[in-house]
Amino acid sequence: MRGKWHIFREEGSLTVARQVPPRFDVAVSVVLPPAEPLRLAQQIRQDMWRAVQAVRGFSPVVKVEAQGDGLLVTAGGRVAGRVPGNLASEIKAVLEDEAKRSRWLRHARRDKKRLKNAQSEVKLHKSTTGFDKEAETGQ
């Protein structure tokens, strides 16, 4: 469990859920390129929640499974009570949003390039901050 979220790791899959056991009363699946499963699941969960948080009794679940050269992502969750007829289409719209997908994959990149870029951004930030301080103090 991380915070108030349960993280289940099994052979080839990862599930992030608010309640135990994870249950899909509504589910939408999509195949995405390889990425770090936990980071990807958390990003998808956040965006899905933002889109459907008005649904009373909704508890998000995201499952990420290895599938060939990519990942099968199933997003949806548990609904206490009646499942609204448009809920699946709202979740599908989140999963098919190209801007969101791009952000999720950037955030969840597995390669060393991500680490290298993060380190260079830190260096750039420190040097820029040092320059700004000098300019402000007149030294």
Q: What is the DSSP code (8-state) at residue 48? A: H
Q: Which two tokens stand for residue 123?
A: 């260096």
pTM of the model: 0.77
Q: For position 117, what pLDDT does the model report?
A: 54
For the chain, the structural domain boundaries read: 6-108, 111-139
For 72-89, give the secondary structure using H, E and C: EEEEEEEECCCCCCCHHH
For 74-133, what is each residue's pLDDT tens digit?
Answer: 999 999 989 999 999 999 999 999 999 999 999 998 654 544 554 454 444 444 444 444
Contact, 37 vs 104, CB < 8 A? no
- Digit-coded pLDDT (tens) for 31-67: 999 999 999 999 999 999 999 999 999 999 999 999 9
